[in-house]
Amino acid sequence: MNIVFDLDGTLIDSAPDIQSVASVILAAVNKPALTLAETRSFIGEGAAVFVRRMMAARGIDEAQHSHAALLEKFLAQYEFAVDKAVFYPGVLAALSELKAAGHRLGLCTNKPERPARAVIRHMALESLFDAVMAGGMIDSHKPEPAMLLQTVELLGGGPTLYVGDSEIDAETARRAGIPFALYANGYRKTPVSEMYHDWVFDDFAVLADIVAEVMAGHDPCVP
């Protein structure tokens, strides 16, 4: 079976790294740094959207500094911002268990390709993933379903579970028609009860059980 994961907020907490990069960019234009809470709330729809939200939060308009210029500076440093990223508890063990069981693992993230691959290398995840789809690799981004569907195709097609943490991930899964397991401890802003999901979990130790239910065709809404 295929299990496709989001990255930031699902497998790793990369907000401290992103906050650090944003702080450098903001300091250069004499604006105060983002808080960690602000940083987490801006993550999810790619670097361009993150920078636009950062500009709005600090009252920076196009007449002062263009979005394109700040995005270019942000991306120039983003690729190397990997030192503060950490796994959520139980992630590495869960990925290793699923891989050893013969499942095909994929990654589908709006994070731009170069920083995504940089953090994958840094966290020693390269050998675990059979397919990687990151921002900019195709002319689409989540919540449009194309990235997720392309990841499934790269994995060879077949039954798939998507695992993510945010409203963007939930909507992507819904549009793609793919079962969705929501990791509740990530970057979501909406109550779990108001989000689309088939399963919800807060401990990666139970992910193998969710996968087993998907394979058995179990309807999570039926006891």
Active-site residue set? 6
Question: For residue 144, with 0-12 CB atoms within 10 Å meaning exposed, 13-18 middle and 19 or more buried, which class applies?
Answer: middle
Sheet bearing 131-135, strands edge to edge: 131-135, 104-112, 2-5, 160-164, 180-183, 199-201
Instruction: Please say whether the beta carbons of 164 and 7 come within 8 A.
Output: no
Decide if 59 contacts 207 (C-beta within 8 A): no
Q: How many distinct helices (H) and strands (E) make up the chain?
A: 9, 8
Q: What does the alpha-carbon distance between residue 7 and residue 185 come to, in Å, rounded to a whole number?
A: 13
Amino acid at 38: E
> CA 172 → CA 81, 100, 102, 148, 184, distances in Å?
27, 27, 25, 7, 16
Dist CA 119 CA 7 (whole Å): 10
Beta strand 86-87 with 12-13 is antiparallel
